[in-house]
């Protein structure tokens, strides 16, 4: 008998709905969910073959417990008992917990609740610290929430799409489909990136700038919009603040098309054209990914994008907005569930005494929950794990591989070897 089991593709952050084809208890293939508003019955190659790892011969079937230099197969009860006995030895400040951007909301919530309710620690984080922090901070400062402002189907309804730091057609193909849909309806597609990617091939206007000069390009475009009177004055007066400060900055002589063209490698004519297209569009949206946020000035890049959309009134309507495209399938969800050291679920501050009391009452642990203070982030945890005194002595990692993903692999390797229990 052949059954279809609905799930979500485990790769990028698009969130395509997939039906797993299950025959005699084994997954044999996939079909797209035709009712999904995100992928609308389509899948990219990643989604089409996303089931293949499930029955891989490399997958672990039983817990492995280290004995010296080797791992010995064990049963679950033995493993649970070992974990419980080991963790009892450490106080909350000696334990670190890493959640996963590849786990479901439910799994991440359970881990977060375990860390704060049982282990009593706020030393809780995940890989979004590296890929998502600039977006979280930048958009929270601009809009109050570090998430996409619009839905994926909205992208196809835009008159002008401005994409930076994202090779969308390779990395998020089903979002690339929305870009094509907008172009077929008469919309324009502006693509800015240091590389000539497959996404650049699809662009109506390609701005190939020198790496790291994102803010100069964005400030120049904003300056041109203001000089030509294309700003949305009604939106600015009713929905924004500190406009004069932004205006003063972007109208500086160093942000003229000629100067920025020299600085960034983009021609003055193309910068002027981009400003005109964005400024005259009824509905403009910005797409960006980690090429823009994975920089030392990532927060400034994100805030400049938010300023551009507020300047033109492209917030709060269909086909507009600021849309950060996630690399992994649940980066946003892991943050939403509170798997970060300074927030409970829903971005309620750990240090907020009112919400802390509310969570304590709802969870109803007999001995309370973690104190109302910010814990260590992923980088601080590994630095402290590598120390000789007052260090992190035990860590729980769920669906994370920091020896591959962390930028300072030598520090992480030293820290992991220094742990008493992992």
CA dihedral 384, 388, 389, 392 (to 10 degrees): 40
pLDDT tens figures, 5-17? 999 999 999 999 9
Residue 216 has pLDDT above 80, yes or no: yes
User: Quick one: average pLDDT of 209-224?
Assistant: 96
Which of the four pLDDT bands, split at 50, 70 and 90, describes residue 415?
very high
Residue with tokens 């750990």: 350
Q: 162, 240, 203: which is closest to 231 by C-alpha?
A: 240
Which of the four pLDDT bands, split at 50, 70 and 90, describes residue 273?
very high
What global pTM score does this model have? 0.90
d(CA 416, CA 376): 16
Which of the four pLDDT bands, split at 50, 70 and 90, describes residue 132?
confident
Residue 371: its pLDDT value, please? Answer: 96
Give the total residue count for the chain. 422
pLDDT tens figures, 232-271? 999 999 999 999 999 999 999 999 999 999 999 999 999 9
pLDDT tens figures, 51-63? 998 989 988 989 9
Residue 18 has pLDDT above 90, yes or no: yes
Residue 328: its pLDDT value, please? Answer: 87
Phi then psi for 402, rounded to 5 degrees?
A: -65, -20
What lies within 8 Å, CB to CB, of 11 at 6+ separation is 46, 47, 50, 328, 329
Residues above pLDDT 90, as percent of the chain: 86
């Amino acid at each position: 008998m052949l059954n279809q089991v609905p799930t979500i593709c485990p790769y990028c952050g698009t969130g395509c709905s997939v039906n797993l084809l299950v025959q005699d208890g084994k997954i044999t293939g996939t079909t797209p969910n035709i009712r999904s508003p995100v992928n609308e019955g389509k899948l990219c190659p990643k989604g089409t073959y996303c089931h293949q790892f499930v029955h891989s011969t490399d997958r672990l079937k039983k817990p492995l417990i280290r004995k010296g230099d080797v791992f010995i197969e064990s049963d679950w009860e033995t493993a649970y008992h070992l974990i419980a006995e080991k963790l009892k030895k450490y106080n909350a400040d000696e334990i670190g917990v890493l959640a996963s951007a590849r786990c479901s909301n439910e799994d991440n919530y359970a881990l977060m609740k375990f860390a704060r309710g049982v282990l009593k620690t706020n030393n809780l984080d995940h890989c979004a610290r590296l890929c998502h922090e600039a977006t979280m901070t930048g958009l929270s400062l601009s809009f109050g929430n570090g998430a996409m402002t619009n839905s994926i189907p909205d992208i196809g309804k835009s008159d002008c799409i401005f994409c930076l730091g994202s090779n969308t057609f390779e990395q998020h193909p089903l979002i690339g489909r929305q870009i094509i849909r907008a172009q077929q309806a008469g919309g324009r597609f502006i693509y800015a990136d240091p590389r000539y990617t497959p996404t650049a091939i699809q662009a109506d206007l390609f701005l190939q700038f020198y790496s790291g000069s994102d803010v100069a390009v964005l400030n120049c475009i904003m300056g041109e919009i203001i000089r030509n009177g294309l700003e949305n004055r009604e939106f600015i007066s009713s929905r924004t603040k500190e406009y004069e400060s932004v205006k003063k900055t972007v109208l500086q002589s160093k942000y003229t098309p000629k100067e920025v063209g020299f600085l960034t490698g983009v021609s003055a004519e193309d910068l002027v054209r981009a400003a005109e297209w964005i400024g005259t569009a009824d509905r403009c949206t910005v797409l960006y990914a980690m090429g823009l946020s994975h920089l030392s000035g990532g927060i400034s890049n994100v805030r400049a994008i938010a300023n551009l959309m507020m300047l033109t009134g492209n917030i709060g309507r269909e086909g507009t907005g600021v849309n950060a495209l996630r690399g992994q399938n649940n980066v946003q969800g892991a943050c939403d569930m509170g798997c970060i050291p300074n927030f409970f679920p829903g971005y309620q501050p750990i240090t907020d005494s009112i919400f802390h009391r509310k969570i304590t009452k709802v969870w109803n642990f007999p001995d309370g929950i973690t104190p109302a203070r910010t814990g260590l982030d992923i980088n601080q945890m590994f630095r402290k794990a590598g120390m000789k005194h007052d260090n992190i002595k035990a860590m729980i990692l769920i669906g994370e591989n920091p020896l591959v993903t962390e930028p300072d692999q030598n520090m992480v390797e030293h820290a992991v070897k220094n742990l008493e229990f992992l």
